[in-house]
Homo-oligomer: A and B are copies of this chain.
C-alpha cells in the first residue's frame, strides 16, 4: 500500500477543532489547555516531544521550543498558530493567555498534568480560573475516521509482515532478545517508524509473566513463545500477540491454548456498538472461567489503539460506558500459570455499526514450530 493511497488523518483537523470548541462551550470554558502530546498531535498534527496547546473559540495556539522550529511548520500547516519559546513553555503560556482578553475559565487535562505544573497554574497563572477536565480530546480520539483506520490497518500489516519473517527463525538456543532483534529489524523494513512499546518475547516459564520484556533466556524445545509487539505509521499503532509452541505441544499446552483462542474468537465476534466495556470483557472472562481458568486471566480484555497504544475505550470489568461506532480495540485474553507458562492471543478489531471487523489476519491456530 503506498502512502499516497491512504487519506491523511490530519485532513480532519478542522472538524476536530469544531468538535472541541463545541465541547468547550458545553463545559462553559473559555479555553482548554492541552498538555497531552498525543492529544496535541490529534488536534494539530505536531509530533514533537515538548508542546503546550491553548484552544479557545477563536484561537488555537501551539507553543514549542527551538528544536522543533522547522518540524512544526511542516507538520501543522494552518491548524494552529505557533509560538517558539526560547526558555520555558510556561512563560510563553502566561504571555499568550495575557493576550486573550476574554479568557477567564480555562480547562486543563487532569490526566495529563503533573502536580508540579498544576502548582504553576495556581501560582504564576493565578489570574485565570483553572478547571480540571478529563477525556475531552480522548473521547473524540476513540472514534476513528477513515484515514485513521487506514493507518491502523497499515500498522497491523507491518506487524504481521514482520512476524511472518520472524517465526521461521524461532529455534532452540536462540535468545529472546535475539528474536526481538529479528522482529524489530523486519518491523523497520516494513516501514514502522517506531515501536509502540518494548517488544515482549517471553519463552517457557517467562510466558507466564504478562508484561515480561525480552530477556536473555534461550528458547527450549517444549516452550511456549509469546510475542507481543506492534508497529507505528504516521503515529498510529498496532498491537498484536501470538503464542507459539517450540516443538510438539503437550496436551496441557494444547488445552490452555484452545481455551484462549476460543475466548479470543468469541469476544471479537460478540463486540457490538452500545455494549459496555464490562460486557465485552465478560464474554471472554466467563468462557475462561467456565473452563476452569478464571483465576489465571488476571488482566482486562483489551483497550483502544490509535495515536497511543493504550487509549479509550477500555474493555474491562469496571467499565460501564458503551462502545461507540468507529472504535478500534485490542481483544487479548490470556491464561497465565506461574512457573509453567502462559498464552495470550491478541487481535486488533474495528467496531462499526455493522459489527466487528478483525483487522489482524495472522493465523490463530496452534502453531507448533519444528
Q: Which residues of A contact B (CB under 8 A)?
A: 3, 48-49, 65-71, 87, 108, 110-116, 118-119, 132, 134, 177-178, 180-182, 184-189, 191-195, 198, 208-216, 298-299, 318, 338-339
Contact = CB atoms under 8 A, between A and B. Distances in A.
Nearest to A130: B115
Contacts of A178: 188-189
A67 B211 contact: yes
A188 B194 contact: no
A268 to B, nearest CB: 22
B114 A67 contact: no
Nearest to A338: B70
A13 to B, nearest CB: 21
A69 B299 CA distance: 12
A193 B214 contact: yes
B193 A189 contact: no
A220 to B, nearest CB: 18
A178 B37 CA distance: 26
Query: By CB atoms of chain B within 10 A, which of A49, A69, A215 has the most?
Result: A69
B116 A115 contact: no
Given A115-B110, A118-B118, A194 B213 contact: yes
A132 B318 CA distance: 31
Contacts of A188: 177-178, 180-182, 184, 214
B181 A185 contact: yes
A143 B188 CA distance: 36
Contacts of A118: 115, 118
A31 to B, nearest CB: 17
Output the residue of A180, A192, A213, A299 with the most chain B CB within 10 A: A180
Contacts of A69: 298, 338
Nearest to A187: B181
Given A110-B115, A181-B187, A193-B213, 4 more contacts: A70-B209, A118-B118, A182-B185, A194-B213
A216 B116 CA distance: 38
Contact of A108 (B49, B115, B318): B115
21 contacts: A48-B211, A66-B210, A66-B298, A67-B210, A70-B208, A71-B209, A71-B212, A110-B114, A110-B115, A111-B114, A111-B116, A112-B114, A113-B115, A115-B118, A115-B132, A177-B192, A181-B188, A185-B185, A188-B214, A193-B215, A194-B213
A210 to B, nearest CB: 4
- 6 tightest A-B contacts by CB? A181-B188, A66-B298, A185-B185, A67-B210, A110-B116, A181-B185
Contacts of A110: 114-116, 119
Q: Which of A181, A186, A187, A210 gathers most chain B CB within 10 Å?
A: A181
Contacts of A299: 66-67
A289 B130 CA distance: 42
B211 A191 contact: no
Contacts of A187: 181
Nearest to A296: B66
